[in-house]
Structure 1
Amino acid sequence: MGHSAGGHLALLAAQQLSTLSLQHSQTVLKRTIGLAAITDIKAYAMGKNSCQTATKQFMNSTPTQNAEAYIKATPEARLSKTPITLLQGDADSIVPAAHAVLAGAQKKLIKNGGHFDWLHPRSISFDALLEVISEHDE
């Protein structure tokens, strides 16, 4: 599980782990959860807020200058062996709700949910997160 850019990295890590042999590992991944996760790095880099505009610096190029790097940095649910759930607030001004779309992933959109609400124990978003975790806790 990860939040925002951490959600983006969690999705990429799950994808990468799916390509590795986990036969000798004690690790069992049940689900990957993205909280306001960036799911399309190219689209995110084209945005106008300060986090979005920093993407080009983080990627050391624009999507036009290095399309291949942006493709590699964009998660694909079909490449992950673990189920993916995306949790997104529709009032998030940092990672727009359009990022709650990833073919093959489940999504839960929280009405009036903001970017940092996932971290506040008294928010509806936090309750939704606990609900998703408890659904898959065995």
Structure 2
Amino acid sequence: MEPIAYGPHRDQVADLYLPAADGPAPLVVVLHGGFWRAQFDREHARPEAQALAALGYAVANLEYRRVGAGGGWPTTFDDVARALDALPGLIEDARPGRIDQDRILYIGHSAGGHLALWAALRHRLSNESAWHTEVAPRVAGVVALAPAANLVDAYHRGNGQGAVAELLGGGPRDFPERYAATDPSVLGTADIPIVVVHGDRDQRLPIEMAREYCAKSGAELVELPGIGHFELIDPDSTAWPFVVQALRRCLDRPGRIHT
């Protein structure tokens, strides 16, 4: 494991895991969950990152500022946008020839799933947004594991005991422009494969949110019977093979798949 800093703050860092084989490997950027709160950090995604590296991926386990330690609106989004723009080049500088710049994937769990979806849709943001990109981000696909795919819905459901309000500073009536700029469910479709994996026993974020997001966006939904929230990031769980398959499908189906 090798830390790669993408900014001066202690949380502006990603842990890089490289596969044993030499040569360029697909890069998987892992965005951890924890309802965007500071008490949850990238450490709980370490087994996931190590397991993916063992499968032949280069893995960047991303940290970002979170609510309670300088994060929230807008700094959490500043960090994620900055990291995803900078990391491919930074990793190439640190480890020349070890990543395939044309095969970059985002995988995120829970709040990290929200951030992964949002990051892939930054070209859909208004031109006035600081996070807007003129062209689609250079990513081959996104795997979102039990994501907070609809922030307005998550706010009204009270998911994470008020976590969305903490992230954005209030509710959708208070800050409609913040929700419009950060909610994947209103940013339209992507030009890349997106696979949402969600268990039907999830008590943290209900599978109905995933069903509604995929029906609206055209993303693929993989429903896992009998699976809860955290099995999706456990390499020893029965859910893990479906996560690995989702990543492989993203690489096998380049280009536009949504209409």
Normalising by the smaller structure, the TM-score range is 0.7 to 0.9
The gaps in structure 1 that reach 5 residues or longer are none
Which range moves more in the overlay, 1-10 or 69-78?
69-78
Please state which structure has a larger fraction of its residues in helix. Answer: 1
- Greater Cα radius of gyration, structure 1 or 2: 2
Letter in 2 for 1:72: A
CA, structure 1 residues 98+5, in 2 after alignment: closer, same or farther (shift >3 Å)? Answer: same
Please report the TM-score for the alignment, with normalisation by the length of structure 1: 0.83
Aligned twin of 1:110: 224
Q: Is the 8 A contact 1:44 1:52 kept in 2?
A: no
Matches within 5 A, 1:10-89: 10-16=116-122, 19-21=133-135, 28-49=138-159, 51-76=160-185, 78-89=188-199
CA, structure 1 residues 17+74, in 2 after alignment: closer, same or farther (shift >3 Å)? Answer: same
Deviations 1:32-83 (A, max 9, x none): 111011111011011235x141211211011221223222221146342212
CA distance in 1, matches of 2:223, 2:181: 26
Identity among equivalent pairs (%): 27
CA distance in 2, matches of 1:86, 1:133: 11
CA, structure 1 residues 74+82, in 2 after alignment: closer, same or farther (shift >3 Å)? Answer: same
The gaps in structure 2 that reach 5 residues or longer are 1-106, 125-132, 253-259
Q: Is the 8 A contact 2:141 2:251 kept in 1?
A: no
Letter in 1 for 2:240: F
After the TM superposition, list the runs of 4 or more consecutive aligned residues in structure 1 that deviate by more than 4 angstroms.
none
Which range moves more in the overlay, 124-133 or 32-41?
124-133
The CA RMSD measured in Å over matched residues stands at 2.1
Letter in 1 for 2:143: I
Greater RCO between the two (CA within 8 Å, min separation 6)?
1
Which range moves more in the overlay, 7-16 or 57-66?
57-66
Q: Is the 8 A contact 1:14 1:32 kept in 2?
A: yes
Please report the TM-score for the alignment, with normalisation by the length of structure 2: 0.47
